[in-house]
Structure 1
Amino acid sequence: MISELTRTYLDAVDRALPGYVRGLYLVGSAVLDAWQPGVSDVDTVILTSRPAGTNDCAALADVHAGMPDSPHFDGVYLDPASARSWPDDQRVVPHAVNGTFTADRPCGELTPVLWLTLHRYGVPVRGPAIADLGVRVDPEAVRRYNLDNLRTYWQSSAATVRAAMTGLPADETVDAGLVSWYALGPARLHHTLAHGDVISKAAAGLYLATLFPGYADLAHRAIRWRTGAPERFTAADLSAALDSVDQVADDAWRRFGTGLSTSR
């Protein structure tokens, strides 16, 4: 399915913009041995022959609009200058997330972890070998990004959800995807901080179970749900997942935050 989707994209973009896409590389779950039909998107890094002009962006929007609804074909577009600097500042570049293309908004996918994933695990579909791209990975930038993301995104988001749960009965059924998101996401960042590597969400669940055994049952159920098992989660489970966010983030800052501000 992944190969078919990338061929569909390349055929469409080559018809719309001949010579524009000079490189396409798989990243994300597709290269981490974690891709799940019906759950995972196809994530890519796309190298272009020139900066995107207005007509290019309009054509790319049409290409992405014509792609299948599932799985989403997502990607970050890098022009030649960007592909030499490998920016990790979430600047404005053309990109598609959840199947929707945009060219005028900051790209949250442009992070040091993206380049770590591309460097270690990227799979070329078109273009030079990964080793010939000159991908730069800055370990200190990876550390800073993961620690900051645990504070500014994960803990902040968890606090918002926790406040919205006020008065919700503990046995109320809640969205399984939401529970799994909070149970598995932060552990991935903690693992990268600890080992300098990127793992899948399923592997992050196993890591969470080892790191904090009290969340082992929740982690294993989240993993099973991602593989298609009919798991039911309650508000109590969501509350536990939110608590795990704080424990993982605080532990990461204690272990790996030397020299960095810990203010939220």
Structure 2
Amino acid sequence: MIEELTRGYLRAVDQVLPGYVQGLYVVGSAALGAWQSSASDVDTVIMTSRPAAGDDLARLAKIHAELPRSPHFDGVYLEPELAHSWPTDRRAVPFVVDGEFTTDRPCGELTPVLWLTLRRYGIRVRGPAVASLGVRVDPEQLRRYNLHNLREYWQAAADGFPADLAGVAPDAILDAGTVSWFVLGPARLHYTLAHGDVISKAAAGEYLGQLFPEYADLAHRSVRWRAGEAERFTATDLITAGDSVHAVADDAWRRFGDPETARPLAG
């Protein structure tokens, strides 16, 4: 499925924009050996021969609109200058998330974690070998990105769970993907802070269970759901997931953060 989707994209773009895509590298769960057909997208880094003009963008939008809707073919486009600087400033570049091609908004995919994944695990489909790309990852930038992402995205979202679920029955069934997202995501960032490496969501479930055994059952259920097993999640599970977000993030700030800016530990 992964090869079929990437090859299909290359056939389409080569026909419409010959010579435009010079490099294509698979990252994400597929590169980490944890791709699940029921839950994973195909994440890529796409290197181009030139900056995209208006006509290029229109043609790319059409190509992405005609690709299969499941799994999504996602990725970021890097013009030649950016393929040497490895930006992490979320500048506006063409990118695709959940199959939607976007050109006019900051690209949140441009992170040190993306470049770390590419450098260590990227799978070449087209272009030079990954080792010859000169991908640079600044350890301090990686540390700060993960810490602030834990606080500003994950904890900020989890803070809203009690209000969002006010009046919802504790045993009400909720979207499994949402619960699993909040259970597994923060643990991946914690692992990167602790080990300077990247792990899959499946591995993050095991890591979370080791880090905080009280969340092991929810973590293992989330991993089983991603593997296609029939798991159901309730409002109580989402509240517990929010608690795990705070536990992981506060522990990360305590261990790896700057003392003067660390958030006080919960409880």
Query: Which category of TM-score, normalised to the shorter sequence, fits these structures?
Result: over 0.9
Equivalent residue runs for 1:91-240 within 5 Å: 91-240=91-240
- The answer to whether residue 39 in structure 2 is matched with residue 19 in structure 1 is no
3-state SS, counterpart of residue 89 of structure 1? coil
Aligned residues between the structures:
264
**Does the residue aligned with 1:246 lie in a helix, a strand or coil?**
helix
Deviation per CA, 1:93-117: give whole Å up to 9, x if none. Answer: 0011100101111111000000000
Is the CA contact (8 Å cut-off) linking 2:9 and 2:67 kept in structure 1?
A: yes
Q: In structure 2, what is the Cα distance between the partners aligned to 1:177 and 1:98?
A: 14
- For 2:40, the aligned partner's letter is S
Task: State the Cα deviation string for residues 192-246 of structure 1 (Å, max 9, x = none).
Answer: 0000000000100000000000011111111111111111111111110110000
Counterpart amino acid of 1:202?
Answer: A
Matched, 1:58 2:55: no
Instruction: Give the whole-Å Cα distance in 2 for the aligned partners of 1:97 and 1:169.
Output: 33
Give the secondary structure class of the aligned counterpart of 2:160.
helix
Pairs within 5 Å for 1:32-51: 32-51=32-51
Q: What whole-Å deviation, never above 9, does each CA across 1:105-145 have from its counterpart, x for those lacking one?
A: 11110000000000000011000001111100111111000
Range 10-19 or range 163-172, more displaced? 163-172
Q: Which runs of 5+ in 2 are unaligned?
A: none
1:224-263 equivalences in 2 (<5 Å):
224-258=224-258, 261-262=261-262
RMSD after superposition: 1.1
Task: Name the stretch that deviates more: 227-236 or 159-168.
Answer: 159-168
Q: Which amino acid aligns with 1:73?
A: F
Of the structure 1 ranges 229-238 and 121-130, higher mean CA displacement relative to structure 2 is found in: 229-238
- After superposition, the Cα gap between the structure-2 partners of 1:225 and 1:262, relative to the gap in structure 1 and judged at 3 Å, is same
State the TM-score, normalized to the length of structure 1.
Answer: 0.98
How many angstroms apart in 2 are the aligned matches of 1:236 and 1:221? Answer: 14
Distance 1:130 1:246 in 2: 36
Moved over 2 A (4+): 258-264
TM (norm. structure 2) is: 0.97
Q: Deviations over 1:26-85 (max 9, x none)?
A: 000011111001211000000000001101101100110110111110110000000010
**2:250 and 2:263 in contact (8 A); partners too:** no
Where does residue 5 of structure 2 map in the other structure?
Answer: 5
- Helix, strand or coil: the match of 1:205? helix
For structure 1, which runs of at least 5 residues remain unmatched after alignment?
Answer: none
- Aligned-partner Cα distance in 1 for 2:209–2:263: 27
Q: Name the CA distance, whole Å, in 2 between partners of 1:138 and 1:88.
A: 10
Query: How much does 1:186 deviate?
Result: 0.3
Distance (whole Å) between structure 2 residues aligned to residue 29 and residue 61 of structure 1 = 24
Which one-letter code corresponds to 1:140 in the other structure?
E
Matched-pair identity in %: 68
Please report how far the alpha carbon of residue 259 of structure 1 lies from its aligned counterpart in structure 2 after TM superposition.
5.3
2-side partners of 1:158 and 1:192: how far apart?
21
